[in-house]
């Protein structure tokens, strides 16, 4: 092999190596991720079944001269999902409103929340409903989170009555309807 052939062969080898090390195969595409803003809520019992409501019976005492016994606290669960939007719609709250009926004279109803869930499910604020107060913010500072859907999941709302026997009026007994609303502040 002559010198010229050796040089040509060496140059060809270097040239081939050079092309192999710089070879690339690149492609690209777009991916769109859409996140829905969510604000959904339901009221359920401890078994995660739709709530049929609560009943508080203020019954006559067994012994004449005694006060009406206090009734036991009852609980329901708020199950909700929240995915926040951009400011100013990035913070939410749950309000409770007495939308029909009246609490009996001399009776107040305290709703005391215990917030449970994953993410930013908010902060509980007790609300006392009475003849002079028919609404309140029960959970505030909700951002993105969820409470779960199974039995025992959700933010627990304890309902308790307060009254003094001397202030009760049996003629004012009746039903009330409470509405919960999950909304932006």
Count of CB atoms within 10 A of residue 130's CB?
Answer: 16
Q: How far apart are CA 77 and CA 156, in angstroms?
A: 5
Looking at residue 88, its pLDDT comes to 85
Looking at residue 2, its pLDDT comes to 58
**pLDDT tier at 147, thresholds 50, 70, 90:** very high
With tokens 């009996």, the residue in question is 104
Residues 6+ apart with CB under 8 A from 87: none
pLDDT in tens, 156-179: 999 999 999 999 998 988 899 999
pLDDT in tens, 3-18: 555 544 444 444 445 5
Domains parsed from the chain with CATH numbers: 38-184 (2.60.40)
């Amino acid at each position: 092999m002559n010198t010229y052939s050796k040089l040509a062969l060496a140059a060809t080898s270097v040239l081939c190596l050079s092309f192999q090390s710089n070879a690339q195969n690149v492609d690209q595409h777009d991916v769109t991720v859409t996140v829905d803003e969510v604000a959904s809520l339901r009221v359920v019992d401890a078994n995660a079944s739709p709530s049929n409501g609560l009943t508080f019976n203020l019954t006559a005492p067994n012994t004449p001269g005694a006060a009406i016994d206090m009734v036991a606290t009852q609980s329901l669960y708020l199950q909700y999902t929240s995915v926040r939007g951009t400011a100013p719609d990035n913070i939410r709250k749950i309000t409770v409103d007495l939308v029909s009926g009246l609490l009996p004279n001399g009776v107040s109803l305290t709703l005391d929340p215990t917030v449970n869930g994953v993410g930013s499910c908010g902060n509980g604020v007790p609300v006392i409903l009475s003849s002079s107060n028919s609404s309140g913010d029960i959970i505030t500072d909700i951002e993105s989170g969820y409470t779960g859907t199974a039995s025992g999941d959700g933010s627990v709302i304890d309902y308790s009555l307060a009254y003094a026997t001397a202030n009760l009026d049996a003629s004012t007994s009746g039903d009330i309807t409470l509405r919960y609303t999950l909304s932006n502040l």
